[in-house]
């Protein structure tokens, strides 16, 4: 039986672990088979305080994990397959094999990339379709690429891909970007980047490899084909909360609802990071809420009624 179990190994989960470990709560962190969260699929992180020259996402996560380990966090690699939050101690099953009991739980399961939902997108994933420029950009030296989306992710991916690609066309469904001003300025100044405004990707073309996309202009209603060698989909993220459906309060998009800091609808269960953040979704805000969740756990356990 653990005082606190943390699910998730992004900035939220690892910061919660650092704080819980330093509060002598001997946290168990379940890190999933893909440890480190979304930052492991990003390139340079320029806005995480403390790194004036920037730091690569995977390096930042490695540092956070080492820091959590240093204070005695126990790590378990595996995916949580079921949770029972109906009474304390909470019971979790990992990879349908081990069972873990937890007096309190911090949910820091983050969010995953959203797909366009086209059948050819699924068929051609790994054959020209990707959601991770850091992972796959290298394979597109001298190629023509499409990035779908108008947020920070799309422009970050687009900028990064110009290191390899000949051209990058950012396809966006409106005529205004959602991305931050600095990312917009950088993309506008990049000679390799152009924009297809008011455009939806209707289909991804190609037999064995991507050869183009079919775009529909939503203002004129016309469809055109744009030849390309790769399509990077960067249209946002969905919270990873399927496990908790029916057990924790969530909004219609699946983000966990919290009140009084990081408390969820079940006493003793706390949420940190992108899993409950519909507003900010930054590495630093995730880390901040991980810290808050660990402090909330400590206070919860200290209150006489909640000691198991
Ligand atoms: P986002 O801000 O939600 O943007 C998603 C973009 O995809 C929007 O432009 C949206 O269009 C478009 N989109 C959504 N569904 C679509 C669909 N079905 N078809 C076509 N286009 C679609 O997501 P994000 O860019 O992943 O960013 C998420 C959060 O992480 C943000 O808070 C962002 O600031 C942060 N982030 C920060 C950095 C950084 O600071 N370096 C880097 C990456 C992400 P509309 O605009 O029309 O809604």
Q: Is the CB of 48 under 6 A from ligand 1?
A: no
Q: Return the beta strands (E) in 221-267 as ranges.
A: 223-227, 230-233, 237-239
Q: What is the CA radius of gyration of the chain?
A: 21
- For residues 181 and 219, what is the distance between their CA atoms, to the nearest angstrom? 25
Nearest ligand 1 atom to the CA of 149 is 7
The mean pLDDT of the chain is: 95
Q: Is the CB of 174 under 6 A from ligand 1?
A: yes
Q: Which residue is closest in CA terms to ligand 1's atom 13?
A: 235
| pLDDT of res. 304 | 64
Q: Which residue is closest in CA terms to ligand 1's atom 7?
A: 235
Beta bridge partners of 167: 144
User: What's the CA-to-centroid distance between 63 and ligand 1, angstroms?
Assistant: 27
- For residue 123, give both structure tokens: 């068929």
Nearest ligand 1 atom to the CA of 180 is 34
Q: Is the CB of 278 under 6 A from ligand 1?
A: no
Give the global pTM. Answer: 0.80
- For residue 18, give both structure tokens: 């650092």
- For residues 17 and 19, what is the distance between their CA atoms, to the nearest angstrom? 5
Q: Say how far residue 191 (Cα) sits from the centre of its chain.
A: 29
Residues of the chain with pLDDT under 70: 304-308
- CA distance readout (Å), 131 to 126, 172, 267: 10, 16, 36
- For residue 140, give both structure tokens: 């597109």
Nearest ligand 1 atom to the CA of 46 is 41
- For residues 73 and 65, what is the distance between their CA atoms, to the nearest angstrom? 9
Nearest ligand 1 atom to the CA of 279 is 32
Q: Is the CB of 197 under 6 A from ligand 1?
A: no
Q: Is the CB of 238 under 6 A from ligand 1?
A: no
Say whether 58 sits in a helix, a strand or coil: helix
User: What's the CA-to-centroid distance between 148 and ligand 1, angstroms?
Assistant: 10
User: What's the CA-to-centroid distance between 177 and ligand 1, angstroms?
Assistant: 9
Question: Within 13 Å of residue 99, how many CA atoms lie on the same side as its CB?
Answer: 6
Q: Is the CB of 299 under 6 A from ligand 1?
A: no
Dihedral sign, CA of 278, 172, 235, 286?
negative
- DSSP states along 75-92: EE-S-EEEEE-SSSSEEE
- For residues 238 and 252, what is the distance between their CA atoms, to the nearest angstrom? 11
Cis peptide bond upstream of 217, omega within 30: no
């Amino acid at each position: 039986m653990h005082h606190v179990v943390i699910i998730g190994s992004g900035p939220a989960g690892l910061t919660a672990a650092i704080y819980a470990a330093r509060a002598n709560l001997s946290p168990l962190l379940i890190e999933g088979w893909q440890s480190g969260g979304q930052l492991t699929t990003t390139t340079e992180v320029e806005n995480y305080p403390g790194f004036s020259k920037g730091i690569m996402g995977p390096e930042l996560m490695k540092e956070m994990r080492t820091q959590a380990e240093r204070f005695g966090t126990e790590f378990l690699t595996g995916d949580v397959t079921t949770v029972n939050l109906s009474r304390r101690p909470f019971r979790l099953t990992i990879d349908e094999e081990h069972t873990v009991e937890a007096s309190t739980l911090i949910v820091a399961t983050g969010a995953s990339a959203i797909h366009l939902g086209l059948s050819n997108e699924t068929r051609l994933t790994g054959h020209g379709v990707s959601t991770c420029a850091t992972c796959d950009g290298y394979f597109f030296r001298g190629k023509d690429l499409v990035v779908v989306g108008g947020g920070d992710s799309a422009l970050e991916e687009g900028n990064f891909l110009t290191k390899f690609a000949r051209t990058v066309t950012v396809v966006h469904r409106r005529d205004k970007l959602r991305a931050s001003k600095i990312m917009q300025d950088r993309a506008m100044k990049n000679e390799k980047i152009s924009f297809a405004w008011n455009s939806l990707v209707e289909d991804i073309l190609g037999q064995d490899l991507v050869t183009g996309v079919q775009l529909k202009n939503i203002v004129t209603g016309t469809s055109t084909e744009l030849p390309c060698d790769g399509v990077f989909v960067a249209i946002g993220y969905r919270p990873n909360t399927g496990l908790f459906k029916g057990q924790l309060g969530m909004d219609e998009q699946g983000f966990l609802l919290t009140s009084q800091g990081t408390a969820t609808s079940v006493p003793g269960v706390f949420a940190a990071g992108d899993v409950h953040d519909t507003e900010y979704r930054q590495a630093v805000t995730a880390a901040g809420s991980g810290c808050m969740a660990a402090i909330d756990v400590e206070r919860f356990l200290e209150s006489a009624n909640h000691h198991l």
